Amino acid sequence: MSVLNLLSVREQVYEYLKSMINSGELKSGDTINLNALADKFNISKTPLRDALLQLEVDGFVNILPRKGIIVSKLTLEDIKWYYEVIASAESYILEKYGNKMTGDHLDAMEKYNNSMKDALKNDNFDEYYKNNLNFHNTYINLTENKTMLKTIRVAKERLYDFPRKKEFVKDWELDSVVEHDELINLLEQKEFALAAKFIKNVHWSFEYQLKYILKYYTETE
């Protein structure tokens, strides 16, 4: 039995629609046809509505009276807000839970960052992205705050899976792995407060990263 089949109908529809957005099959401004989806899945409209409501909560669609269900556009203002959310959450986790880090955590972060460097050499963005998530999740998962973890996850999905581009902004990615090295160095020295400030004021700073953000999100307003 596949993992997808273990999900509820609502969850299956939610994941299916997100995958369509990720791939670009559904683009910003497209209208989602509820009747067509019901026919496609051969299900009632109730789980479809539930899935679409969750997609709206997570920022992927807008449900507009008399206009229908529209795939959301990711604006520059949206990006700024998501950066602020992620920066605040990750810096909080580092400062509050950094003392839980062990040598195994740091070894894992170094391994993931080295894999990112290899992915850059091979122009493999999917591998880079996967290891980037793993790098950050190594310390993010120090908290058991499920609400915070979900908020971070959805914010990153909104930034990178809408749809995620298949190419690099090479200078940005190269700077990013250097920033990761700096973060590892601070954590090895148990400078958790400095690590938190570094994440907030450099790595996840909208203002600091703006020149790269503008290059990557070329279709934002």
pLDDT tens profile 103-119: 999 999 999 999 999 99
Domain extents in the chain: 4-71, 76-216
The Cα 81–Cα 206 span in angstroms is 9
Q: What is the pTM of this model?
A: 0.86
97: helix, strand or coil: helix
pLDDT at 162 (0 to 100): 65
pLDDT tens profile 157-184: 989 876 666 677 999 999 999 999 999 9
Compute the mean pLDDT over every residue in the chain, rounded to the nearest whole number.
90
Does CATH number 1.20.120 belong to domain 76-216? Answer: yes
Q: Output 37-43 pairs: Cβ under 8 A, ≥24 positions apart.
A: 37/13, 41/9, 41/12, 41/13, 43/9, 43/13
- Is the pLDDT at 56 greater than 60? The verdict is yes
CATH class, domain 4-71, is: mainly alpha
pLDDT tens profile 2-27: 444 556 888 888 888 888 888 888 88
Nearest to 21 by CA among 51, 42, 65, 44: 51
Per-residue DSSP letter, 64? E
The Cα 125–Cα 96 span in angstroms is 32
Nearest to 166 by CA among 60, 20, 23: 23
Tokens for 178, please give them: 């250097």
